[in-house]
Amino acid sequence: MHSNLVIIACSIFRYELEHLQQTGKINVPVIYLNSMLHMYPKELQVLLDAKIEEYSNFRIILMFGDCHARMVDYEKKTNVVRTPGINCCEIILGEEKYRKIRKDGAFILLPEWAERWREAFIDFMGFNSSEAIKPFMSEMHKKLLYIDTGLQKKNQNLFDEISDFLGLPLEIYPSSVDELENVLERLIIESETKESP
């Protein structure tokens, strides 16, 4: 166990982080914030500010992309390091893979967001019908890409439901947690060089 170190993470990473903990790859406690807070940046900022203050006596690894307007301010704190990447997809995939996928016109679905797609598109964005969202999605994207880190059972019925509603074909992109593991190993070392809180 790394003493006086904690990870504060978006719950989008829960499956991957729990896997890394269970396999002994990381031995750091993780505090999760609900991934749906991405839709409410001001609320996310308030909660993150409070959580960082709560753990001000710890070295903190912050696992968030640019999810609210002041994310970079946390990096100025002497006890905080943050995962590189503009969003959760880039953090899991790495910059090169992420940019290629985006260039190919894909809308990326991580496992937790695939499970919670109704919350995002229907409850939050207000697309109550498939006909309302299909033009919006097809204008911006060519396909849906589910990032399969191999930790969740593939649910074809769910994939078909999402694809039908959004009006785009869904492809499965086999991935791993290697990129995330490498980033965390580097940040653990980096956090040790930071000033003690």
Residue 50 to residue 11: CA distance in whole angstroms: 17
| pTM for the full predicted model | 0.91
pLDDT category at 128 given cuts 50, 70, 90 is: confident
pLDDT above 60 for 1: no
Sign of CA dihedral 7, 180, 147, 101: positive
Altogether, the residues listed in the chain come to a count of 197
pLDDT category at 100 given cuts 50, 70, 90 is: very high
Q: Taking the CA of residue 102 as centre, how many other CA atoms within 13 Å lie in the half-sphere pointing to its CB? A: 11
Q: Taking the CA of residue 49 as centre, how many other CA atoms within 13 Å lie in the half-sphere pointing to its CB? A: 10
Residue 112 to residue 152: CA distance in whole angstroms: 9
Residue 58 to residue 21: CA distance in whole angstroms: 19
**Between 166 and 125, residue with greater pLDDT:** 166
Residue 179 to residue 184: CA distance in whole angstroms: 9
Q: Say which DSSP state 6 is in.
A: E
Residue 48 to residue 74: CA distance in whole angstroms: 9
Distance of CA 50 to the CA centre of its chain: 20
Average pLDDT, the chain: 92
pLDDT category at 185 given cuts 50, 70, 90 is: very high
pLDDT at 126: 84
pLDDT tens digits for range 13-40 = 999 999 999 999 999 999 999 999 988 8
Structure-token match 């911006």, residue found: 140
